[in-house]
Each structure stands twice: as structure tokens, then as C-alpha cells.
Amino acid sequence: MGFFALVTGKRGPSGFGSASTAEQVTEGVDASNVTAIVTGGASGIGLETARVLALRGAHVIIAARNLEAANEAKQLILKDNQTARIDILKLDLSSIKSVRAFVDGFNALDLPLNLLINNAGVMFCPFQLSEDGIEIQFATNHLGHFLLTNLLLEKMKTTAKTTGVEVRIVNLSSIAHTSTYESGIRFDRINDPDSYSTLNAYGQSKLANILHANELSRRLQEEGVSITVNSVHPGLIATRLMRHSPLLMKAFKMFTFCMWKNVPQGAATTLYVALHPKLKGISGKYYVDCNETKPSKDAGDENLAKKLCDFSNKLIDGASKI
């Protein structure tokens, strides 16, 4: 789309652009037959995503680490939309145990699953290991969503088969996927504190989001399953995600103020990819400002994607044995 389109809001081939809002890109869409999970749906663009999904009739499950905040989000949605269907389940993506417990809880609801939005994340965190001994940004942003998606995959396949309606998975990545370590994914030093960079570790996890989406898309297409998997960059939005680097963000915003979006604009690309009928059958793509865009060279590397998948499964298997 380019810098000019970003700052002016010029619409691209999809008919939407950087200034489009979540409500605008879903106008006229009936999602009353959709059951959706939104990770991190208690705040920021996750909350806006959940709100607009409910506005279009979807049954939304907000997956959140903080149940108090999730309940406040639910009440906020219900205040303006009394018929909204919202459920809340606890999910800490940095914990393999929590991810498994969430899936058990969701399965107990005996619901279909038409839409999975892997939205939650952390950003620019100081070096820290998760309870499973994995670097926190990689554990939360990639590995938790990787496991969550895998554990829900059979449910989504069943939903697609029994309803005859396409199921969609959306991974929230970032333009930051272009700013990672030299090797892209540091498979041999994923937990190395000495060479840790808050920015590169974040970029690494966002690169992993795209690679995960692409590899899963490839495998599902080989199976002939009616499930699409795409990744998106929501844009630059000031949310709690940036709480770990307030000074850096203030300086960054001073020089990039014309590129920032508000929250309704930030949720637009996610919802465009999640619900718009134009994207039926489209899979393994990367979207920015509601338009398909080519990601980095590393993000399009099929061998790297396959290696990441194998590596992620080994990490999960190893952590589960501790």
C-alpha cells in the first residue's frame, strides 16, 4: 500500500485502507452463525474485535488472562448491545498448562468453532522465562497460539465439515516481523539472555506468527480442508501492549505521529480478513490496511516455516514432560 496510502487513508484494491474502521469493513455482514474465539479480547484492538463481532451477531468467547478485565469488557459490550452473546474463559498463553485447560473448558461448552483470532500478545518485555522455561515473548506471542490452534484444529475441521461453511484462522503479526535476529528465528538460542534484544525478540515472535499461518495453511490445503489461515499487521496503535517501553514509544511516536491509528482502525484488518466474503478461499496471505501485502523474505521461506513447526512441537513436548 505504501507510505502515502498509509498516512492519507487511500483505499486499496479491497475498497478499504488505513482509515477504515472495524465497523466499516464488516458493514452488511451477518455473523449470526459464527462462533469465534478472540485471544486477548479484554482490551485494545482485541476488545474492539470482540465488540464488532458481537455487533454482527457472532457468539464471542473472550480468552483472557485477567478474568476481571474480561468481565468488564463483556459488560461494556453488553451496555451498548444487550443481545450480544459473550462468554469468558481464562487463558494465559505463556503457560502450556493454561492453554490445555482453556481448550478443555471450551470443548465442555459443546460449541462449533468457525473463527479463531490469535490476537493476544506482549511486546518489548525485559528478558524473562515463562513457567515452562521459554523466553516470554516467543512463548506468549507464538508458542501459546501455536498450541492453542493445534488443539482446536479438530474442532474446526468438524465445524467446517458439518456446516459446509468455511472456517477461518487469523494470526495477528506485525510489521516488526522485518526487524528480528539475523537468523530470523534463533532456534539454538531461543532462551539466551546474554544476546537478548527486546525489539528483536518481539520481531522474532511476530515473524513466527506469519510462518505458523503459512505452514498451517499449506498443510490444510493439502488435506483439502475448508479452513483458511492468514496473518495481518493491524498497524501502529497505542494500547497497553506498549507498556514495557513507554519512553521508547513516546520518542517513536514523535517521529511517526502521522502513521498511527485509533483502536477502531486498528481492528479493521483483523475483521476484514475474519469476515469479509471477498476472502473466501484465500489462505496463506499477509494483510496490511485491509489489503494483501508481501511480507519479508524470511516470512515467505517454506523451509523456515517447516523448521519452526517442528521446533515448536519439540518445545511443547519437552516442556510438557517437566
What is the three-class DSSP state of 224? coil
Instruction: Please give the single-letter amino acid code of residue 97.
Output: K
What is the three-class DSSP state of 19? coil
For residues 275 and 38, the answer to whether their CB atoms sit within 8 Å is: no
Helix intervals (H) in the chain: 2-8, 22-25, 44-55, 67-80, 96-108, 136-137, 144-163, 198-223, 246-256, 263-266, 268-275, 302-320
Residues 6+ apart with CB under 8 A from 29: 56, 275, 276, 277
- Catalytically annotated residues: 196
Closest CA to 39 of 125, 148, 159, 136: 148
Closest CA to 315 of 130, 154, 106, 105: 130
Query: What span, in angstroms and rounded, lies between the C-alpha atoms of 191 and 204?
Result: 12
Give the cell for residue 187: 532456534
Strand pairing report for 115-118 and 236-237: unpaired
Instruction: Please give the single-letter amino acid code of residue 105.
Output: G
Instruction: Please give the single-letter amino acid code of residue 212.
Output: H
- Please give the C-alpha separations between residue 311 and each of 64, 142, 189, in angstroms, as whole numbers: 26, 12, 12
What pairs with residue 167 in β-bridges? 227
